[in-house]
Copies of this chain bind each other. A is one copy, B any other.
Amino acid sequence: MPSDNKNIARREFLTSIGRLAGSAAMLRTMAAMGIGFSAASCGSSSAAPGAAVLPPPPPRMQSPRPGDWPSNVGAGKSVVILGAGIAGMTSALEMNRLGYACTILEATAVAGGRNRTIRAGDSAVETDSTQDCTFDVDADLYFNPGPARISHHHEFLLGYCRQFGVALETFVNDNHAALLHATTAFGGQPQVKRRVVADTRGNIARLLAKAVNQNALDQDLSAADKTNILAMLQEFGDLNGAFEYTGTERAGFPGQENSGSRQRGELVSPLQLQELIGDTFWQLRQDYAQGLDQQPTMLQPVGGMDRIARAFESQVATDIVYEAVVSEIRKIANGVRIVYQDRFGTPVSLDADYCVCTIPATVLRSIANDFSSMHQSAIAGFNYAAAGKIGFQSRRFWEQDHNIYGGISWTTQDITQIWYPNHGFGRNSGILVGAYMFGGSAGSTFAAQSPQQRINASVTQGGRLHAEYAAEVARGISVAWLKVPFQLGAWGTSSPGILLSPDDNIFFAGEHLSLLQGWQEGAILSAYHAIDGIVARDTA
């Protein structure tokens, strides 16, 4: 499908969702596309999907949290936790503190789940390929193929970082020196974000000022309001004294971003309003950092996202059985029985009072189980995003030649985003994320490609944003989550529904069963929800 048709299809898709289902559904869809923020379902089960358009529920209901549970409630009780990702390790950590005897069965040889960092010598294993990472050995040269940023209000995760001494630094989510690129607009030339933002604000401000000055909004605005809103708009859009927008220093100066000119006499010409609003891409992409989970300040661990996985792991290491591949999840009287293959392929049976199952639904649906038909049906139908990323090592041409320090460029091409590293500024080499698509056809295409095909496509598409791309980027290594063993998807996108309710003594957790799907904080919230249910049983 040509890309202009695809754009139109996407716009119509979004618009039709917006019309049919109200803003919440549209926001969910946009969140899945990485544009907006999540308004998805809630690990606490206290907020329904689409809550933004429903009457407000009783105020100040809070998700369960560790302080809610009586100490030692778990004494004499056992829990088997399936999966040593963030949800599983949080469950073990907090249930240990409550006195439960915890065992975590982890299918792979390393804890963390989708929290991973790839460095020199690591491998990226998919169901039909294995790639070796050939980055130089260097603390700054790493690639986070899964979660890579933390919202400043994801405070349970941040609290654990504080407890465990995980050093954090800023993640630049919204860099005004980064690029916005649509193949169908501005002659296919990428635009520096500052210019798009400044000209959009300028146009919004001038049009609203004009309407105000024409008395078109006198029903809404008093004379004092009009004076005040005009003053605000003048600053908001950098309008001149006649409330016209004729360009602004905010958009930068000609050639400055490339050649370093300090010439500030000549403004860049404002972009045409028609081009600034003529496509869904431009209508939406400059606003993503307004979303609640995308606003500054965002954070990342110093040295790679897996510093968090390692910190959790060090808290629960003695509870983890590695390379334990679950083959059966059974109900027994007052408890559960898990059968798994150990690292030697030997079947092992393990009984416990409770199970917290964090295995992704895409994997879980193939494991023999005693789940209720409702639970089985929800698991079978649970959708996951086909997200993927590719990392390249490169000279930091983006810093040295374009003054881009961290942040994200956007394109309508399949690669969707380019991420510049947010650390190691000023060093010669860095790891560029050369593609990050969130699913849809771009994600499916990426997953279907061989590693070399992904490299080739990413280099070609990246070259439309940065002319020097092919000459600079190298050593590409990619992860398509759809094909990662024991994950088979990037994050859950279906409504949690029945999976928020336990099935006898089996409780479910994982980011997909939270308000914050796709976020580590969501995994933690889901663990708290599961723990809360178990504690309720034991205090009943």
- Give A residues with C-beta under 8 Å from B: 11, 15, 18-19, 22-23, 27, 36-37, 39, 42-44, 46-48, 51-54, 56-57, 59-63, 65, 152-153, 155-156, 158, 161-162, 165-170, 172, 174-177, 194, 197-198, 200-201, 204-205, 207-208, 210-212, 214, 216-217, 220-221, 225, 228-229, 231-236, 238-241, 247-250, 252, 254-257, 259-267, 273-274, 276-278, 280, 282-284, 287, 290-292, 295-297, 299, 399-400, 403-407, 422-423, 425-426, 515-516, 525
Contact = CB atoms under 8 A, between A and B. Distances in A.
A198 B158 CA distance: 24
Contact of A264 (B51, B247, B290): B51
Nearest to A161: B426
B63 A261 contact: yes
A225 B59 contact: no
Given A207-B208, A211-B211, A152 B197 contact: no
A241 B18 contact: yes
Nearest to A175: B297
A518 B13 CA distance: 50
A17 to B, nearest CB: 10
A428 B277 CA distance: 46
A169 B406 CA distance: 10
Given A44-B262, A166-B426, A228 B61 contact: no
A262 B136 CA distance: 41
Contact of A155 (B260, B263, B284, B290): B260
Given A297-B177, A426-B161, A228 B405 contact: no
B169 A169 contact: yes
Contacts of A37: 249-250
Given A15-B231, A22-B240, A296-B296, A263 B170 contact: no
Contacts of A228: 274, 277-278, 283
Copies of this protein chain in the complex = 2
Nearest to A515: B264
B62 A290 contact: no
Most chain B CB atoms below 10 A, which of A48, A170, A231, A423: A170
Given A19-B241, A169-B170, A177-B153, A515 B162 contact: no
Contact of A208 (B27, B47, B57, B211): B211
Nearest to A15: B231
A425 B62 contact: no
A51 B265 contact: yes
A343 to B, nearest CB: 36
A211 B216 contact: yes
B57 A265 contact: yes
Most chain B CB atoms below 10 A, which of A52, A152, A212, A238: A152
A406 B291 CA distance: 19
Given A169-B170, A177-B152, A225-B274, A60 B194 contact: no
B208 A262 contact: no
A249 B208 contact: no
Contacts of A241: 18-19, 22-23
B217 A62 contact: no
Contacts of A19: 241
Contacts of A249: 27, 37, 39, 52, 291-292
A474 B217 CA distance: 51
B265 A46 contact: yes
A406 B63 CA distance: 27
A208 B204 contact: yes
B406 A262 contact: no
B152 A231 contact: no
Contact of A172 (B296, B399, B423): B296
Contacts of A278: 228
A86 to B, nearest CB: 15
B42 A172 contact: no
Given A287-B235, A296-B175, A65 B260 contact: yes
Contact of A153 (B60, B257, B525): B257
Contacts of A47: 263-265
A54 B265 CA distance: 8
Q: Which 5 A-B pairs have the closest CB atoms?
A: A211-B211, A216-B216, A170-B170, A47-B265, A63-B262
A292 B194 contact: yes
A211 B207 contact: yes
20 contacts: A11-B231, A23-B238, A52-B247, A52-B267, A56-B265, A57-B265, A63-B261, A63-B262, A170-B406, A172-B296, A172-B297, A176-B296, A177-B297, A200-B232, A204-B208, A204-B233, A207-B217, A232-B283, A236-B287, A262-B515
